[in-house]
């Protein structure tokens, strides 16, 4: 059987029609298999822009909240923070060589007159008002040896300040200004309630930039002055990562509620990201004594000491070049005895290890220092020392520690 032959044009047309039909079938099947790709995207309900912003907040912003507690804290205490400017005149001795007649003939009589015999030094610090009558608390090193003290309030008023008392041992000072009885007062908190991780807000005039606020946290507590590197002080500092620079000294360190928990002090010029503050509880007691007596009496023994552990003693004893063998015990090793001190008069010697005071075991230099600081001036302390293989009981009457000045 033979099929009829179609013209060539008809065959081409049927081929095109078949191709179009096949394309339509494939398109329909694709839409049925992947309906999600063909459907329009769902329209999200309208959302308040404030909610979107809240969702994009950083963790720090979320912790602080939309209403900054820092602003509230600074507003609470800010007007009580002051700037303290000091002036001090020092006298320079002119070398006798410049007064020699030969020098005068060679250089002329006017040359020595160009060398100033006096020089005026200016200082800058911070402080805060603790009483409506005009009592200002600051660091001792801010106003020490100053001939003139000027206190500038935040509202621009300036007053001459009179230093009522300085205590170099705790680096605290009280300054009095006469500005009436309606001055803003900084609310004082309690440093005994401070915990590591609490907010720390430093307020002051760092590097001459007035009314500056920095924020951080409390990094650690009871950082001893010996650890900080200032052995002539008797302090356990609050350590913070809030920026504290020269000019901040004497300004307040606040908690999140705007209460003063410490007094900032820029004692380590090489500190990077580390600041220190004197606990306010210590400052309260010192300020009262300075206001009343103008000074504070600090008991002392008169020894240079270091904490001793069995490990440190063993390390020393195994060193063939060590000049002394140390008992391998816990205690305080006496490195040096100050001449004419209570310790020297009582018979304490270099190389002794203090292990007890009034029956209390002593395991660190900081512990011994705090115990002596808390004693009364002239109190007799029973000090037990290990001297070589022998133990001795020594009675030491505390003396008064004199300021370096």
Q: Give the SS3 label for residue 9.
A: helix
Q: Closest Cα to residue 84, out of 53, 127, 133, 46?
A: 127
Q: Please answer whether residues 135 and 122 qualify as being in contact, where contact means their C-beta atoms are separated by less than 8 angstroms.
A: no
What DSSP string describes 34-72?
Answer: -HHHHSPPPPPPP--HHHHHHHT--HHHHHH-SS-HHHH
Going from the C-alpha of 52 to that of each of 42, 44, 49, 57, 58, the distances in angstroms are: 19, 13, 5, 9, 13
Name the residues annotated as catalytic: 141, 171, 249
Q: Please answer whether residues 281 and 238 qualify as being in contact, where contact means their C-beta atoms are separated by less than 8 angstroms.
A: no
CA 27 to the chain's CA centroid: 73
* The token pair that represents 308 in the structure block: 């001793």
Q: Closest Cα to residue 172, out of 242, 245, 277?
A: 277
């Amino acid at each position: 059987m033979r099929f009829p032959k179609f013209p060539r044009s008809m065959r081409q047309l049927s081929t095109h029609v078949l191709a179009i039909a096949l394309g339509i079938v494939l398109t329909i099947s694709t839409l049925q298999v992947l309906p999600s790709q063909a459907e329009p995207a769902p329209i999200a309900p309208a959302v308040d822009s404030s909610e979107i912003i809240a969702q994009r907040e950083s963790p720090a912003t979320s912790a602080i909240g939309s209403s900054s507690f820092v602003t509230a804290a600074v507003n609470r205490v800010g007007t009580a923070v002051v700037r303290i400017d000091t002036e001090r005149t020092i006298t320079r001795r002119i070398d006798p060589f410049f007064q020699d007649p030969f020098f005068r003939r060679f250089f002329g009589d006017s040359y020595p007159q160009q060398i100033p015999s006096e020089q005026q030094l200016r200082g800058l610090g911070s402080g805060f008002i603790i009483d409506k009558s005009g009592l200002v608390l600051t660091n001792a090193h801010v106003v020490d040896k100053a001939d003139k003290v000027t206190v500038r309030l935040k509202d621009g008023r300036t007053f001459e300040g009179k230093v009522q008392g300085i205590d170099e041992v705790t680096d605290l000072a009280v300054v009095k200004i006469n500005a009436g009885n309606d001055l803003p007062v900084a609310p004082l908190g309690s440093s005994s309630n401070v915990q590591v991780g609490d907010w720390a807000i430093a307020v002051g005039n760092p590097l001459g930039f007035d009314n500056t606020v920095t924020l951080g946290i409390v990094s650690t507590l009871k950082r001893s002055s010996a650890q900080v590197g200032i052995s002539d002080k008797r302090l356990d500092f609050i350590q913070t990562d809030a920026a504290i620079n020269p000019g901040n000294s004497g300004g307040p360190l606040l908690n999140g509620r705007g209460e003063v928990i410490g007094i900032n002090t820029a004692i380590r010029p090489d500190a990077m990201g580390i600041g220190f503050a004197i606990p306010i509880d210590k400052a309260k007691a010192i300020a009262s004594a300075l206001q009343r007596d103008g000074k504070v009496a600090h008991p002392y023994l008169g020894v240079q000491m270091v904490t001793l552990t069995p490990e440190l003693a063993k390390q020393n004893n195994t060193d063939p070049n060590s000049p002394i063998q140390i008992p391998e015990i816990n205690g305080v090793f006496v490195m040096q005895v100050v001449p004419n001190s209570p310790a020297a008069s009582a018979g304490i010697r270099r190389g002794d290890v203090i292990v007890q005071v009034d029956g209390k075991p002593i395991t660190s230099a900081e512990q011994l220092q705090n115990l002596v600081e808390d004693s009364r001036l002239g109190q007799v302390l029973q000090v037990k020392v290990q001297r070589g293989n022998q133990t001795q009981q020594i009675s030491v009457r505390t003396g008064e520690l004199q300021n370096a000045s």
